[in-house]
Amino acid sequence: MAQIKDLFQAYMASELPTEGGLIITSFFDEETTYTKYEVTSYNNVKDIYRNDEGIVFQADGYKQFVIVEPASYSRKHMEPAMRDRGHAIPYRFKEVDSLVTKRQDRIMMGKEPVVTYTSFTILQPVGESFAYVVFKEPDILQTVEAFFAKSLWQDARVPKTDAEKAARTIGQSLSKILNPADN
């Protein structure tokens, strides 16, 4: 399976792959099970450095976003792009694929990736949130699907069968961003 490491530990140990990879970050709402995932592929790295906010990659890249809305989320009627910073993703409802779980939670993922031009910053995780780097290996999609199945189930508290179904869908959408230089 493709190797997964904590992004900030890999940076400190000078182990970040410069030939490209995937970065998975999460942002967990402290009061609900609302969860936002950001998956960033990168390639053609020119520089990687640390600043006060996190790690800056001067590289080509694509981002894909996934959110998990609990059934009790009070702003579910609001376009994802119009929500407050902690709950927003850069898509409107017509630009996302949705999956509703047995428990009526909604998982949304962008239909198309967002291009990152010249550089992007991965913020330092706070609280239970995380940032991982996934090394490019032939089985990277299977690794990412397994990672999402486990994280959706254990971290975002999505029912296991729904988490596995969503992970397969996420894996299919991530195939679009694995090789940003080829798109």
Q: pLDDT per residue over 76-120, tens digit each?
A: 999 999 999 889 999 999 999 999 999 999 999 999 899 888 889
d(CA 153, CA 42): 27
21-37 pLDDT per residue, tens: 899 999 999 888 999 99
* Percentage above 90 pLDDT, the chain: 73
Write the CB contacts of 86 (distance below 8 Å, at least 6 apart in sequence). 27, 29, 36
* Of the candidates 68, 95, 80, 93, the residue with the CA atom closest to the CA atom of residue 163: 68
Does the pLDDT at position 18 exceed 90? no
Computed over every residue of the chain, the mean pLDDT equals 91
pLDDT at 75: 92
Between CA 3 and CA 183, with CA 60 as vertex, the angle to 5 degrees is 90
Considering just the CA atoms, what is the radius of gyration of the chain in Å? Answer: 16
DSSP helix/strand/coil, 162 = helix
What pTM was estimated for this model as a whole? 0.92
pLDDT at 51: 94
DSSP helix/strand/coil, 152 = helix
How far, in whole angstroms, is CA 85 from its chain's centroid?
A: 16
